[in-house]
Structure 1
Amino acid sequence: MITPAVTANTVPRGVRLGYGMGSFCTATVNAVPGLLLLFYMTNFLAVPAWLAGVVVTAPKVWDLVINPLVGRWSDRTVSRWGPRRPWLLAGACTLPIVFFLIFAGPQLTGYAAAAYVGVCFLATATAYALFEVPYKAMPGEMTNDYHERTSLLQWRMVFIGAATAISGVLAPAIATSDGANGTLSSYRVMALTIAVILLVAMLGSFFGTARAPMTGAPEADRGGWREQFAAVKGNRPFVWLTVLACTQMLAVSMMLAAAPYFATYTLGSPGATQTLFAALVGPILLTMPLWVRVAKRLDKRGAMVLAVVLFGGGTTAAIATPLFGPVWAHIMILLVGVGYAGLQLMQFSMLADVIAEDAERTGKRRAGVLTGLWTAIESGVSSFGALIFGVTLSISGFIESEPSRPVEQPDSAVTAVLIGQTAIPALIIFASALITLKYRLTPPGAPAPDASA
């Protein structure tokens, strides 16, 4: 159980808005490559599906190294801007550039194209870590109040919803503006547009958090890697939350990778990618106050289980899309979106609780290390969603192509697309409900969950 805090801080509205703007980084860098990169490589650069899946997955292994490093560095940073904000600025100055280069390479195809995209995606992962790891560490240090952290993070989720809408609706719309499936030029225009949005939002977050309160532990943990990892390993709430987030994001990333294929081969309309994404992210913009109330009523664990049921139920029901058509698919994805909104809010709110509890218990500032590990492991595991889907396509006989050489996919590949969008993510997300029961942090004064749960 989280013990009562010494003080209960209310984060100023201006800081909430400034902090929330940084979520454009989170949503965009996850959504655009997750949604378009696999399709871009297989259908524009003639990269085999299995290799494209490896390219999307491989740079994430680097996260296991760079994210904990950045977290450790930010814990130990001493500056007039605080320990986290110098790193926000470093990420803002580098990420937009390397993100643009992913889609703006030379005229390459096949293995050469895969190598180029892989290098650029690795650089993007590095720049993303500079911003994202310190950024995620900040809520646990802004307030000591259990429910205030959820309230603060609903602003983050609103911005994630807006950013995901831009990424999932605007980005595909620009990418396909030159035809049904788009062209290399339209993908470059898309990348430039998103890069500019990234730059503005990330700088806005840097300046907007200048007055953020800092209530974390006064000194950084100066122990070595072995001591820090031993302490993290012994933090059971952190371990179970990490396992939970990895499981859920694996399902989400697989659905993202499958979405353009689902729109193209199941719904018969590549443009449906935008409307499906709108159905997914719309609830994030609309349901945050509701999820905050649910978390107060059922506690965060109960709210998480409810979110899993909604997400999994909608995903399972979407299997019937070939029978009921596109309208049915959109309604089910809307239901998934309601669940997804709850999953995201509860994940980040629980992480802030874990960070605050660790600082209070140990008297050390270790938010960066915790966040770095959490982000690295979650990102690495979730990236396997694209790999699993790419391998599924290859096994099913999916044929890679270029815009000038459209091909007719075999029935087995079309079936694999449907299964990859619905059945497999549903099984994964339902498994996370059991993992949720292992998370035991509760608000001050509340009884701890039954240890037999």
Structure 2
Amino acid sequence: MIAPAVGVPTVSRGVRLGYGVGSFCTATFGAVPGLLLLYYMTNFLAVPGWLAGIVVAAPKVWDLVINPLVGRWSDRTRSRLGPRRPWLLAGACTLPIMFYLVFAGPPLTGTPAAIYVGVCFMAAATAYALFEVPYKAMPAEMTEDYHERTSLLQWRIIFVGLATMISGVLAPTIVNSQGENGTLGSYRLMAVTIALIMFAAMLGSFFGTARAPMTAAPHADTGGLLRQFAAARSNPAFVWLLALSCTQQLAVATMLAAAPYFAAYTLGDPKATTTLFAVLVGPMLLTMPLWVRLAKRFDKRGAMILAGLLYGVGTASALATPVFGAVYAHAVLLLVGTGIAGVTLLQFSMLADVIATDAATTGQRRAGVFTGLWTAIESGVSAFGALIFGVIISLGGFIPSEPSTPVQQPDSAVTSVLIGQTAVPALIIFASVLMTLKYRLTDPTKAATSATTP
């Protein structure tokens, strides 16, 4: 068992910035395909909505295998670079190439195009796992202080907001730079630009964390995949937090997939995707100090409930957009963005708490196991956001098309876009608020550090 720290370890600002810059990769890879890939396939490659949704979701099933493996490998890695950083470098050397190929395929349409995109997206997800899993494991090993983890991770979320702002605004801007709805060439230009941004961010995080303090718990012999699931299942707080996070991410992913359709068919302006994204992620840059203070004042669970309520109320209110117009839509999505900022920060901070508590209890290094399973299951569930939205618009009669043959969507399809952007995510996020009430891991200075649920 790890002895308690004599003093509160301090992570230097340089290391915090170096760690945070890696979020330019994690946020960008999550945002850009989630925002544009479904629309790219249905409106440029003539892939039916239901099939495009499957293509976005199916590669994530592979995450259930590769992410726990990467977590286990990083737990066992011993090198002069530390257990996690060699994997950051491996991801940096592979992900940008795979990401570019997703949007730079041969001239295919329909099912052949769907197969090509699906294979490339699976390869990109594999490369992403090499970086993401060890990256998420690092905060729990940098400090043993409950509140310093939140302070450390606010830098990451600030970078998440900045990266999401840049990618969410830059990517649609590049796509629309060669026409109102974009062209195949503009999608390729976007892909190479975003790939270079991710490459720079990943290298920056690799070098920026060279002096990161790390706890010295020995790695756990977790064995195969089934034993890793068993190890995670033995930690009730982890299981409950994972279920909570997956529910929240499902709501975010559904909204993300719906955003370009909402801009094009509800607001009547495809370029509004850029401003919608700006109001969604802007609060991540501005509200982090507020959420840190709220987490200290009401504990992390109380702050998470508040964030979920803001998110849900704002999303449900967006259902009235056809009545009140574009300005109203941007205003309520600003409220949604404030909620997302709090939810995102507190998710990562709570995960670091669970991992650190497990290490203190077992005396073993299992951060990679927990983050591997976390990222695999969370990304798999979030991928179903695109599938859910794809099914919704298919049921609404949405007609897939190519740029050379634009179509007029029926009223039922336009209505289905609105429902998929507002009502469905609102119901999901309100369910997560109820789930948050069951989370029990709190500040060890105020309560025992037990990871139990009712």
TM category (shorter chain) comes to over 0.9
- 1:305 maps onto 2:344 in alignment: no
**1:151-204 deviation digits (Å, cap 9, x = unpaired):** 000000000001001111000000111111000000000000000000111000
Q: Is the 8 A contact 1:216 1:359 kept in 2?
A: no
1:394 maps to which residue? 394
Residues 1:216 and 1:140: Cα distance change in structure 2 (over 3 Å): farther
Is 1:24 the counterpart of 2:34? The answer is no
**1: distance between equivalents of 2:316 and 2:102?**
34
Q: Could you list the per-position Cα deviations for residues 17-75 of structure 1 after superposition, in whole angstroms to 9, with x for gaps in the alignment?
A: 00001001111111000000000000000011110000000000000000000000000
After superposition, what is the alpha-carbon deviation per residue over 1:414-450, rounded to whole angstroms, capped at 9, x for unaligned?
0000000000000000000111112111112213699
Alignment pair present for 1:220 and 2:219: yes
Q: For the residues of structure 1 that align with 2:208 and 2:451, how far apart are their CA atoms?
A: 41
Secondary structure (helix, strand or coil) at the match of 1:138 reads helix
- Would the alpha carbon gap of residues 34 and 419 (structure 1) be closer, same or farther in structure 2, given more than 3 Å must change? same
The CA deviation at 1:224 is: 1.9
Q: Specify the alignment match of 2:41 in structure 1.
A: 41
Superimposed CA distance per residue, residues 63-96 of structure 1 (whole angstroms, 9 cap, x where no aligned partner): 0000000000000000000000000000000000
Partner of 2:182: 182
1:231: Cα distance to partner? Answer: 2.3
- Secondary structure of the 1:176 match is helix
Q: Residues 72 and 222 of structure 2 are in contact (CA less than 8 Å); yes or no, is this contact kept in structure 1?
A: no
Which residue matches 1:126? 126
C-alpha deviations, 1:183-228, integer Å up to 9, x for none? Answer: 00000000000000001110000000000000251x1111323443
Q: Partner letter of residue 55 of structure 1?
A: V
8 Å contact kept, 1:7–1:145 = no
| Count of residue pairs brought into register by the alignment | 451
Letter of the structure 2 residue corresponding to residue 329 of structure 1: A
Distance, in Å, in 2 between the alignment partners of 1:158 and 1:386 is 25
Tell me which residue corresponds to 1:356: 356
> Is 1:290 the counterpart of 2:290 in the alignment?
yes
Q: Secondary structure at the match of 1:251?
A: helix
2:279 and 2:213 map into 1 onto residues whose CA distance is 36
Q: Is the contact made by 2:38 and 2:386 (CA closer than 8 Å) also made in structure 1?
A: yes
Letter in 1 for 2:80: R
* Cα-Cα RMSD: 1.5
Change (3 A) 1:3 1:400: farther
Shift of 1:3: 10
Q: TM-score, normalised by structure 1?
A: 0.97
Separation (CA, whole Å) in 2 of partners of 1:78 and 1:194: 32
TM-score (structure 2 length as normaliser): 0.97
1:375 offset after TM fit, Å?
Answer: 0.6
Contact 1:6 1:144 in 2 (8 A): no
**1:107 and 2:103 matched:** no
Does the Cα contact within 8 Å between 1:216 and 1:356 map onto a contact in 2? no
CA distance in 1, matches of 2:446, 2:45: 56
Cα pair 1:53 1:389 within 8 Å, conserved: yes
1:128-159 alpha-carbon deviations (Å, 9 max, x no partner)? 00000000000000000000000000000000
Equivalent residue, structure 2, for 1:318: 318
Paired position in structure 2 for 1:383:
383
Rounded to whole Å, the distance in 2 between the matches of 1:145 and 1:179 is 51
Structure 1 match to 2:55: 55
What code does the residue aligned with 1:309 have?
A: L
What is the rounded CA distance, in whole Å, between the counterparts of 1:47 and 1:156 in structure 2? Answer: 36
Q: What residue number does 1:243 align with? A: 243
Taking only the aligned residue pairs, the percentage that are identical comes to 75
Q: What are the ranges of 5 or more consecutive residues in structure 1 without an aligned counterpart?
A: none
C-alpha change, 1:304 and 1:257, in structure 2 (3 Å) is same
Provide the rounded CA distance (Å) in 2 between the counterparts of 1:7 and 1:363: 19
